[in-house]
């Protein structure tokens, strides 16, 4: 849980010993956050000791149409 604030930092890996085994550069969540921020999405991180961490990323599928009096029937 103390690492949650940093998981979106570039090149950050919370457990270096595990990172060597699994690989990765620590860029995945930083890239995902950039995409989410620039496309109007949102994200949530839930972390519990001895259970794990869940990262939820949401992106809008399409822009919502603008409703005006001209296109109302």
Burial of 15 (0-12, 13-18, 19+ CB in 10 A): exposed
Q: Mean pLDDT per 10-residue run, the chain (73 residues)?
A: 78 69 80 91 90 90 75 64
**Which residue, among 46, 39, 60, has the nearest Cα to 4 in the 3D structure?**
46
Domains and CATH numbers, the chain: 4-71 (3.30.565.10)
- pTM of model > 0.75: no
- pLDDT of 1 reads 57
Residue 24 · residue 31 · CB < 8 Å: no
């Amino acid at each position: 849980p103390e690492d949650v604030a940093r998981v979106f930092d570039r090149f950050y890996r919370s457990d270096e010993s595990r990172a060597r085994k699994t690989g990765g550069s620590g860029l995945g969540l930083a890239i995902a956050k950039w995409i989410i921020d620039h496309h109007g999405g949102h994200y949530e991180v839930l972390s519990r000791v001895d259970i794990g961490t869940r990262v939820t990323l949401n992106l809008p599928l399409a822009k919502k149409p603008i409703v005006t009096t001209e296109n109302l029937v």
